[in-house]
């Protein structure tokens, strides 16, 4: 198994970083209520605290509610953030916005899928061989494509919510949170890791071919090879017997 060099380990590390960053986005609220993709401060806070909602991959959590408690939805694919904000903050969304936001939350199931693929790519690349590097590069590019798709979906989904909340006349305020930026960072890490792993694979293959060529030339120089005989020489050899 050919060695792929130190640069290959850098690419493998980038794939590992991408996996961890995607995992952080995946376990956002309600799995871990302190991590979210978007935070919304509601305009119905009390004098002691402000109510806020943290939206994540599989649901959301309402923090510091009027009674001081914390409420989280169940973990499931797809939810309706616009409908919840209409009830919690008296924010009016039109029917198209409600339906679009609800549909796009289902696409967030790609967060864990991209995370799993990035981890598989890391395992392949960690083998440090040419075959492992190739499998790792192709798996990583698949994870990167999925990551780009779901990142674009998240920006559209929460961009709709964010713009509507911030432009509304009430006191609510929405902003992207850590889960969104770890997703962006994961996309960058996967892109760079894929390029480095693929290039080191190609470089290792070219180095092996040059080494084999030099070895073969050395064999000719040492007289260890047999000169090719022409067809008339082969015939004359048979006549001697």
Report the CATH number that the domain containing residue 29 is assigned in CATH.
1.20.140.150
- Residue 191: predicted pLDDT: 96
Is position 221 within any domain? Answer: no
pLDDT higher than threshold 70 for residue 177: yes
pLDDT higher than threshold 70 for residue 176: yes
Structural domain harbouring 120: 6-208
pLDDT higher than threshold 60 for residue 224: no
- Residue 35: predicted pLDDT: 93
Q: Cα–Cα distance between 113 and 135 in angstroms, integer?
A: 17
- Residue 226: predicted pLDDT: 47
- Residue 239: predicted pLDDT: 47
Looking at the structure of the chain, the number of domains it has is 1
Mean pLDDT of all residues in 14-25? 97
Q: Each residue of 95-123: pLDDT tens digit?
A: 888 899 999 999 999 999 999 999 999 99
Q: Is 234 exposed, middle or buried (0-12, 13-18, 19+ CB in 10 A)?
A: exposed
Q: Each residue of 64-78: pLDDT tens digit?
A: 766 667 889 999 999
Is position 240 within any domain? Answer: no
Q: Each residue of 120-139: pLDDT tens digit?
A: 999 998 875 677 788 889 99
Look up tokens 């006349």; give the residue: 169
Least confident range from 20-29, 53-62, 78-87, 204-213: namely 204-213
Q: Cα–Cα distance between 226 and 219 in angstroms, integer?
A: 10
Task: Report long-range pairs for 222-227 (Cβ below 8 Å, ≥24 apart).
Answer: none
Is position 218 within any domain? Answer: no
Mean pLDDT of all residues in 197-207? 69
Q: Which residues contact 148 (CB under 8 A, 6 or more apart)?
A: 187
Is position 216 within any domain? Answer: no
Mean pLDDT of all residues in 179-183? 97
Is position 192 within any domain? Answer: yes
Q: Each residue of 126-172: pLDDT tens digit?
A: 875 677 788 889 999 999 999 999 999 999 999 999 988 888 756 77
- Residue 97: predicted pLDDT: 86
Is position 56 within any domain? Answer: yes
Backbone angles phi, psi at 138, to 5 degrees: -70, -35
- Residue 1: predicted pLDDT: 39
Q: Each residue of 21-41: pLDDT tens digit?
A: 999 999 999 999 889 999 998
- Whether the CA torsion 196, 110, 73, 181 is positive or negative: it is positive
Q: Cα–Cα distance between 224 and 218 in angstroms, integer?
A: 9
Element containing residue 176 per DSSP (H, E): strand 173-176
Are 136 and 16 in contact by the 8 Å Cβ rule? The answer is no
- Residue 45: predicted pLDDT: 54
Are 33 and 62 in contact by the 8 Å Cβ rule? The answer is no
Mean pLDDT of all residues in 40-60? 78
Q: Cα–Cα distance between 230 and 226 in angstroms, integer?
A: 12
Res. 203 pLDDT band, cuts 50 70 90: low
The alpha carbon torsion through 166, 169, 171, 177 (nearest 10 deg) reads -10
Is position 235 within any domain? Answer: no
Is position 232 within any domain? Answer: no
Burial call 131-147: b when 16+ CB within 10 Å, e when fewer? ebbbbbbebbbbbbebb
Look at the chain and count its residues.
241
């Amino acid at each position: 198994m050919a060695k792929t060099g130190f640069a290959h380990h850098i690419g493998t590390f980038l794939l590992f970083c991408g996996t961890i960053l995607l995992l952080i986005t995946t376990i956002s609220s309600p799995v871990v209520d302190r991590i979210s993709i978007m935070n919304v401060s509601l305009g119905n806070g009390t004098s002691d605290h402000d109510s806020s909602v943290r939206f994540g991959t599989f649901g959301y959590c309402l923090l510091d509610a009027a009674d001081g408690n914390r409420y989280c939805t169940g973990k499931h694919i797809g939810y309706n953030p616009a409908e919840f904000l209409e009830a919690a903050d008296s924010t009016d969304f039109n029917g198209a916005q409600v339906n679009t936001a609800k549909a796009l939350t289902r696409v967030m199931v790609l967060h864990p899928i991209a995370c799993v693929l990035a981890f598989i790519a890391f395992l392949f690349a960690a083998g440090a061989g040419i075959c492992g590097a190739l499998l790792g590069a192709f798996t990583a590019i698949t994870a990167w494509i999925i990551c780009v798709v779901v990142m674009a979906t998240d920006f559209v989904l929460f961009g709709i919510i964010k713009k509507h909340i911030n432009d509304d006349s009430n006191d609510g305020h929405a902003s992207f949170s850590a889960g969104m930026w770890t997703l962006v960072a994961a996309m960058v890490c996967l892109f760079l890791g894929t390029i480095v792993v693929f290039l080191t694979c190609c470089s290792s293959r070219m180095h092996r071919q040059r080494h084999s060529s030099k070895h073969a030339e050395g064999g000719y120089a040492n007289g260890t090879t047999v000169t090719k005989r022409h067809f008339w020489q082969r015939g004359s050899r048979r006549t001697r017997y």
